[in-house]
Amino acid sequence: MSEPARANILLVDDRHENLVALEAILEPLGENLIFAQSGEEALRQLLHHDVAVILLDVQMPGLDGFETAALIKQRERTKTVPIIFLTAISKDERHVFRGYSAGAVDYLFKPFDAEVLRSKVAVFIDLYRKTEQLREQAELLAARELAAVRRESEERYRQLADAMPQIVWTTDPDGNAAYYNRRWYEYTGLAPATPRGDEWRRVVHPGDLGPTMERRKATLASGEVFEVQYRFRRADGAYRWHLGRAVPILVDGRIESWVGTATDIDDQKRIEQAQDFLLRAGSELHATLDYRAALRAVSRLAVPEIADWCVVDLVDADERPVPLALAHADPAKVAFARELQERYPGGPDVEVAAAVIRKREPVLVTEISDEALEAAAADELHLELMRELRLRSFMCVPVIAGDRVAAAITFAAAESGRRFTEDDLRLAEELARRAAVAIENARLYSEVEERAQAARVLEAVGDGVFLVDAQGRIRLWNAAATTITGLTRGDVLDRPAAEAIPGWASVAERVPISQLAEPVTSESVPLDLGHRELWLSVSGVGFTEGTVYAFRDLTEERALEAMRQDLVATVSHELRTPLAAIYGSALTLRREDIDLEEALRQKLLEIIEEESSRLAEIVNDLLLASQLDTGRLHVQIERCDAEELARGVVDVARTHLPPDVQVELEPPSEPIRPVAADTEQLRQVLDNVLENAVKYSPNGGTVSLRLSPAGTHLRFAVADRGLGIPVAERSRIFEKFYRLDPGMSRGIGGTGLGLYICRELVRRVDGRIWVEPNGDQGSIFYVDIPFATERQPAKRRPEKAPSPA
Ligand code: ADP
């Protein structure tokens, strides 16, 4: 046992020498002496020290001994401290009484007997020590009782903790587990033992270990409440979600321990995950019309939250599964599974999917038994490889879109240790329903798209197309149909065809109707729309909803055909006439039986010459027209003296005039500026118009040519008093091969090419040609040719002698 602490003795006397004397007397006691030279100082000293006994002088300036004692007695902490009064004078009874009533335990009179003083003080010290010891013992006892009580309550807490359905543990301030409750051992299957501190690491899901450790480190450092969601492995290997919470227990402001709980939130968590999965899968499925890509994305979403494996199979025409997607969170496992599928095609997974597709019913296997696995394996190796996958539970649902099974989705649980339940199956079925909607939407969309495309094609084709339903009403009418007939959609839609299209009734009788997939034949028929007649090539195809008619406009082809026939007649006539004349003249010249007069010989030779040149002219026109058609004609635009040209043309015309026709050039009222044209081509135009004017004036008359400016153009006007041209034919006479009188009832020949050539040549120099009536008789042909600009090159070719050939 250690030395008892030294006790304090307070010595109070106003006289220093008295204190020195007291010190000398009490020194041998070996206690701690505290000195004070006044009552006030004594009180001050008592504030700082616990003292065993006080020796107090009675006569002191300021507070005297009695007053000081009274104050000491008033204070709770000091009221029991024994006081020995020291006095030299007051020995009478009254004084002594006052001293005792002030709390004195003794009186000592100066001069003291050192021995007596020492022993008296020693007694009080002893007493003080005993009292102290007793107090300490009492405190110790109290502490022990408290510990017992605490132990008892801890035990009670433990029992409470053991009885709880939650997992409970406690740790030291550093987070090392010191206690786990019974539920912990039941859940984890670990054998109850004194905790080592880090058992929990073995049961937390590897995927959650990282975040848990981090959170734990942070809370241990900050002393905040620890809260985390993690999966704990159950005794059977299944992981279940738990909410872990640990709160620090503080003692004197320091963390003494942590109390933690883990609550099973697996059901809520699964519902949450399932809802989240359905939401995300739904948006994947709706985000695109490529349902294959969507199903692949869904399979990736399913792992690992919903299942460890997700497989999607589409369905072929034979109702067999065709793999589309295989997903697992670990790519290495996917590769392994694929290899397995390749090595053992048509494995148990394919068979399950095939059965689901055939029966249109889902399959749920909560626990894959060893026997089932063995039965499904093709051989020993297969069994071993399948065992490596550690499949425990699976479910497969059909995706029924419209009235056919479009796909099968399989979920399998493996290393997570999950067991699928009816709830999980409902989730899978819900997913299948959403997938079905997506597939159906994609199909509808592509159908609509196809139809829209078909409609666009129908609009774009050049053939008129329309649909007549079973009731004979027009249901569809494309743009070409409008262009060809002039009848708009509004005119015909929803109306009976026979009523909407004038003349249709008689056409419909003649159009052959083929059936779908049969070769289509068409018929050329005239359609009399009332205001005009069309030639159409019409075909019809009948199908369930009615008949589709397609028609092509042959009107122009017909007209061209007619013209071609006219041309053959005209040209052959035109060629035959000069040929006959040449042939006849030649024969006559060769006759030896008659002697021809020189004048007759000359006449015959003249005929041959003239008719040959007419033949050449016809051939030239045909050649030129074909050059214009094919764009091969070269045009050289230059400055050209129009007046000079006009004079030349008139002069040539005058050389072969019928006797009753005159040709005049009206003198211009002002000088004529040069025009921009190809001189030879312009000459040909004027020749032609002038020649026509002469030719179509069978009853004679004057043909005049007049030049006058018309804005930017010079206007040539050729007027005759001939046959004239009906209003309706004024523009048609400029068409190729068009002749007013193809049958030549008026007895005037021609190819119908002249004005066509004129129009094309004039067009090429930005000019214009047209015809107007010449008062009440004859016609005026106008030709406008632009004036030359300053920059126009001057004429380069030397003037050639005008020659029709
Ligand atoms: P062609 O004279 O060889 O028949 P054109 O192309 O020169 O061919 O003329 C076309 C048609 O225009 C002629 O067939 C004729 O009926 C009509 N025509 C041309 N010029 C006149 C005219 N001055 N007066 C009356 N009819 C004319």
pLDDT in tens, 166-200: 899 999 988 899 899 999 999 999 998 888 888 88
pLDDT in tens, 128-166: 888 888 888 888 888 888 888 778 877 887 888 888 888
Q: In this predicted model, which residue has the larger pLDDT, 52 or 5?
A: 52
Could you identify the atom of ligand 1 that is nearest to the CA of residue 755? Answer: 6
Cα–Cα dist 300/711, whole Å: 80
Cα–Cα dist 376/355, whole Å: 14
User: Which residue's alpha carbon is at the smallest distance from atom 13 of ligand 1?
Assistant: 739
User: Which residue's alpha carbon is at the smallest distance from atom 11 of ligand 1?
Assistant: 739
**Residues of the chain with pLDDT > 70: what percent?**
96
Could you identify the atom of ligand 1 that is nearest to the CA of residue 752? Answer: 8
pLDDT(799) > 60: no
pLDDT at position 801: 45
Could you identify the atom of ligand 1 that is nearest to the CA of residue 753? Answer: 6
Residue 609 CA to ligand 1 centre (angstroms) = 25
pLDDT at position 675: 96
pLDDT at position 94: 65
What type of residue is 257? S
Could you identify the atom of ligand 1 that is nearest to the CA of residue 723? Answer: 25
Cα–Cα dist 647/716, whole Å: 12
Could you identify the atom of ligand 1 that is nearest to the CA of residue 739? Answer: 14
Number of H helices and number of E strands within the chain? 24, 28
Q: pLDDT band for position 767 (50/70/90)?
A: very high
pLDDT(795) > 80: no
Q: How far is CA 490 from the centre of its chain?
A: 39
DSSP calls for 225-261 = PEEEEEEEE-TTS-EEEEEEEEEEEEETTEEEEEEEE
Residue 285 CA to ligand 1 centre (angstroms) = 75
pLDDT in tens, 441-496: 888 888 888 888 888 888 888 899 999 998 999 999 999 999 999 999 999 999 99
Q: pLDDT band for position 394 (50/70/90)?
A: very high
Q: Is 725 in the pocket of ligand 1 (CB under 6 A)?
A: yes
Radius of gyration (Cα) for the chain, nearest Å? 65
User: Which residue's alpha carbon is at the smallest distance from atom 2 of ligand 1?
Assistant: 750
Q: Is 570 in the pocket of ligand 1 (CB under 6 A)?
A: no
58 and 86 Cβ atoms separated by less than 8 Å: yes
Q: Is 690 in the pocket of ligand 1 (CB under 6 A)?
A: no
End-to-end CA distance of the chain: give it in Å, rounded.
158
Q: Is 396 in the pocket of ligand 1 (CB under 6 A)?
A: no
**Residues of the chain with pLDDT > 90: what percent?**
42
Q: Is 751 in the pocket of ligand 1 (CB under 6 A)?
A: yes
Q: Is 546 in the pocket of ligand 1 (CB under 6 A)?
A: no
Q: Is 752 in the pocket of ligand 1 (CB under 6 A)?
A: yes
pTM beyond 0.75: no
Cα–Cα dist 701/692, whole Å: 13
Cα–Cα dist 732/277, whole Å: 77
Q: Is 355 in the pocket of ligand 1 (CB under 6 A)?
A: no
pLDDT(410) > 90: yes
Q: pLDDT band for position 796 (50/70/90)?
A: low
Q: Is 734 in the pocket of ligand 1 (CB under 6 A)?
A: no
pLDDT at position 1: 47
pLDDT at position 784: 97
Residue 650 CA to ligand 1 centre (angstroms) = 19
**Count of CB atoms situated within 10 Å of the CB of 372:** 12
Both tokens assigned to 357: 């597709």
Residue 620 CA to ligand 1 centre (angstroms) = 17
- Name the DSSP class of 516: T
Question: Average model confidence (pLDDT) for the chain?
Answer: 88
pLDDT(703) > 90: yes
Residue 606 CA to ligand 1 centre (angstroms) = 27
Cα–Cα dist 32/5, whole Å: 10
Question: Ligand 1 pocket: which of 571, 716, 739, 781 to mutate (most atoms <8 Å of CB)?
Answer: 739
Q: Is 305 in the pocket of ligand 1 (CB under 6 A)?
A: no
Residue 647 CA to ligand 1 centre (angstroms) = 23
Could you identify the atom of ligand 1 that is nearest to the CA of residue 720? Answer: 23
> Which residues lie across from 233 on neighbouring strands?
239
551 and 463 Cβ atoms separated by less than 8 Å: yes
- What angle, 0 to 180 degrees and rounded to 10, lies between the N-to-C axes of helices 39-48 and 65-74? 30
517: left (phi over 0), alpha (psi -120 to 50) or beta: left
Cα–Cα dist 628/634, whole Å: 9
**Count of CB atoms situated within 10 Å of the CB of 589:** 14
pLDDT in tens, 503-555: 888 888 888 888 877 888 888 888 888 777 888 899 999 888 889 999 998 88
Cα–Cα dist 567/515, whole Å: 42
pLDDT(798) > 60: no
pLDDT at position 573: 76
Cα–Cα dist 803/146, whole Å: 146
Q: Which residue has the tokens 């009418």?
A: 477
Q: What is the mean pLDDT of residues 8-26?
A: 92
- Among 352-356, 592-596, 685-689, 792-796, whose mean pLDDT is lowest? 792-796
> Which residues lie across from 513 on neighbouring strands?
540
- Give, for 452, the enclosing helix (H) or strand (E): helix 422-460
Could you identify the atom of ligand 1 that is nearest to the CA of residue 746? Answer: 16
pLDDT at position 802: 46
Cα–Cα dist 4/132, whole Å: 10
Residues 6+ positions from 239 with CB-CB distance below 8 Å: 205, 231, 232, 233, 416, 417, 418
Q: pLDDT band for position 737 (50/70/90)?
A: confident
Q: Is 754 in the pocket of ligand 1 (CB under 6 A)?
A: yes
pLDDT(3) > 70: no
Q: Is 70 in the pocket of ligand 1 (CB under 6 A)?
A: no
DSSP calls for 552-597 = EE-HHHHHHHHHHHHHHHHHHHHHHHHHHHHHHHHHHHH-SSS---
Which stretches within 631-678 are classed as H helix? 642-654
Could you identify the atom of ligand 1 that is nearest to the CA of residue 751? Answer: 3
Cα–Cα dist 443/757, whole Å: 60
pLDDT at position 43: 92
